[in-house]
């Protein structure tokens, strides 16, 4: 790929690009031929997620905390993309701890990412006249409807805005509000993606989510533990489907929030049984109490995404779980090997 081609491509900034969804998004954008500038500070992400991308000429990584000041035009590593002259055409903001164990560990960072970080990136979008996409969450809905109906984008539930998970749940509401304010008053072409429960290979190492725990336990031959109501249904969307939706949404002229997720509900027992079968495990299922202050899962109504983006999830749960299990097995072996080497190095 020549420098000439790079200069003609879009400059796309992906904040939180080394995270779970962010890294898959960077991959797709790099494949599309965009110049991808990935920004991350590794609070809840992993350099392993983007290691393969570092070899592409149209990918560049900037280690930075988005709540702090930065002048991208000054960075020598971005010179080849002419960021100082042509700026950014698109900004994706996925920079926020998303797994409960991460945001409960980093509440201040989660609070500032959702406010200071979002506002700084909106200001950047305004100055660059760039399109902007906020990765929001089903968490903004608050408590789900009593009868577990799919929630449309208009639904607003009660929000415990001072509760233990408020840095994320309330933070995302604020992030959407700030995005809407810049859309309405500063003419930022802003998109709001309300992402529902998402899974995939790279969630496994750093998640603390139940599906990840099921795979780990099942592969290790341990009993699988389900926390909470065994009949509670959730939906699970494969990460590459979500990434396609984000790219579609950015290309669209939709400026309202859009639900993105799977419509097909499963009980956690069904998911655990699938994983036990896929891993040829003889693991049994145990049930324990729900994690304290867990969000009740909501089921998305994705009519808007279907009708306006012509998008719906393509990867079914068996297929996606198989990919996740295969990845976990491969990397678990890798980690064991490395630990083994490290141990034997110490012995020498």
Catalytic residues: 168
In angstroms, give the least distance from the CB of 14 to its own copies.
23
Q: Based on CB atoms, which residue is closest to its own copies, 142 or 300?
A: 142
119 is a contact residue toward its own copies (CB under 8 A) = yes
Q: Is 102 in the site for its own copies (CB under 8 A)?
A: no
Comparison of 44 and 281: residue with beta carbon closer to its own copies = 44
| Cβ neighbours of 288 (radius 10 Å) | 9
Shortest distance in whole angstroms from residue 162 CB to its own copies: 5
Q: What is the DSSP letter of 163?
A: S
Q: Which of 86, 89, 115, 322 binds its own copies (CB under 8 A)?
A: 115
| Residue 144 contacts its own copies per CB under 8 A | no
Nearer to its own copies by Cβ, of 254 and 278: the residue is 254
- Residue 204-223 contact track with its own copies, rule CB under 8 A, x = bound: --------------------
95 vs 243 by CB, closer to its own copies: 95
Shortest spacing between CB 118 and its own copies, in angstroms: 9
Rounded to a whole number of angstroms, the minimum distance from the CB of residue 330 to its own copies is 37
Least separation in angstroms between CB 47 and its own copies: 27
Q: How far is the CB of 300 from its own copies (least distance, A)?
A: 17
Tokens describing residue 278:
């896929």
What residues numbered 242-301 form the site for its own copies, per CB under 8 A? Answer: 257
**Closest-CA residue to 12 (of 130, 142, 126):** 130
The separation between CA 75 and the C-alpha centre of its own chain, rounded to angstroms, equals 26
DSSP state of 196: -
User: Would you count residue 49 as binding its own copies (CB under 8 A)?
Assistant: no
CA 63-99-257 angle, 5° bins: 85
Rounded to whole angstroms, how far apart are CA atoms 20 and 23?
Answer: 6
**What are the residues whose beta carbons fall under 8 Å from the beta carbon of 190, sequence distance 6 or more?**
122, 125, 131, 132, 133, 134, 179, 180, 182, 183, 255
Contact present, 308 and 256 (Cβ < 8 Å):
no
Q: Which long-range contacts (CB under 8 A, 24 or more apart) does 42-47 make?
A: 42/18, 43/97, 43/102, 43/106, 43/109, 44/19, 44/97, 44/98, 44/99, 44/102, 44/103, 44/106, 44/206, 45/16, 45/18, 45/19, 45/20, 45/206, 46/18, 46/202, 46/205, 46/206, 47/18
Q: How many helices (H) and strands (E) does the chain have?
A: 12, 13
Question: 145 to 184, contacts with its own copies by CB under 8 A?
Answer: 156-162, 166-167, 170-171, 173-174, 176-178, 180-182, 184
Among residues 315, 300, 23, which one has the least CA distance to residue 139? 300
| Residue in 57, 87, 107, 297 binding its own copies, rule: CB under 8 A | 107
Residue whose C-alpha is closest to residue 112's, from 72, 66, 69, 70: 66
186 part of the interface to its own copies, by CB under 8 A: yes
Start-to-end C-alpha separation, the chain: 46
Residue closer to its own copies by CB (options 57, 164) is: 164
Give the residue with the Cβ less far from its own copies, 49 or 114: 114
Of 209, 285, 206, the residue nearest 20 (C-alpha): 206
Cβ nearer to its own copies, comparing 115 with 148: 115
Q: Shortest gap between Cβ of 9 and its own copies (angstroms)?
A: 32
The mark string for 123-142 relative to its own copies (x by CB under 8 A, - otherwise) is -----------------x--
Kindly identify the residues of this chain, within the stretch 52-81, that bind its own copies according to CB under 8 A.
Answer: none
Which residues bind to its own copies, rule: CB under 8 A? 107-108, 111-112, 115-116, 119, 140, 156-162, 166-167, 170-171, 173-174, 176-178, 180-182, 184-186, 257
């Amino acid at each position: 790929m020549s420098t000439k081609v790079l200069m003609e491509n879009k400059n796309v900034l992906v904040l939180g690009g080394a995270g779970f969804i962010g890294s898959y998004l960077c991959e797709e954008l790099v494949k599309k031929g965009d110049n991808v500038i990935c920004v991350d500070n590794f609070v809840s992400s992993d350099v392993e997620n983007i290691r393969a991308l570092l070899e592409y000429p149209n990918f560049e990584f900037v280690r930075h905390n988005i709540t702090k000041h930065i002048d991208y035009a000054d960075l020598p590593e971005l010179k080849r993309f002419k960021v100082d002259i042509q700026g950014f055409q698109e900004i994706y903001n996925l920079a926020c701890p998303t797994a409960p164990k991460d945001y409960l560990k980093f509440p201040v960072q989660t609070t500032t990412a959702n406010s200071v970080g979002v506002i700084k990136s909106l200001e950047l979008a305004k100055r660059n006249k760039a399109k902007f996409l906020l990765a929001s969450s089903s968490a903004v809905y608050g408590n789900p409807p009593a009868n577990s109906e799919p929630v449309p984008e208009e639904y607003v539930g009660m929000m415990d805005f001072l509760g233990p998970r408020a840095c994320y749940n309330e933070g995302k509401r604020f992030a959407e509000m700030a995005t809407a304010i810049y859309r309405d008053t500063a003419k930022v072409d802003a998109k709001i993606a309300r992402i529902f429960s998402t899974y995939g290979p790279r969630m496994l190492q750093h998640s603390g989510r139940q599906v990840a725990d099921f795979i780990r336990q099942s592969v290790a031959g341990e009993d699988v533990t389900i926390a909470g109501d065994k009949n509670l249904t959730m939906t699970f969307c494969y990460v590459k489907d979500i990434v396609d939706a984000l790219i579609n949404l950015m290309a669209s002229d939709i400026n309202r929030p859009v639900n993105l997720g799977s419509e097909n509900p499963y009980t956690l027992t069904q998911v655990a049984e699938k994983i036990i079968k896929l891993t040829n495990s003889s693991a049994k299922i145990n049930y324990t109490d729900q994690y304290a202050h867990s969000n009740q899962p909501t089921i998305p109504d994705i009519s808007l995404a279907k009708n306006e983006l012509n998008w719906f999830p393509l990867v079914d749960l068996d297929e996606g779980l198989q990919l996740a299990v295969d990845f976990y097995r491969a990397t678990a072996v890798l980690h064991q090997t490395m630990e083994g080497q490290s141990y034997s190095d110490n012995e020498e």
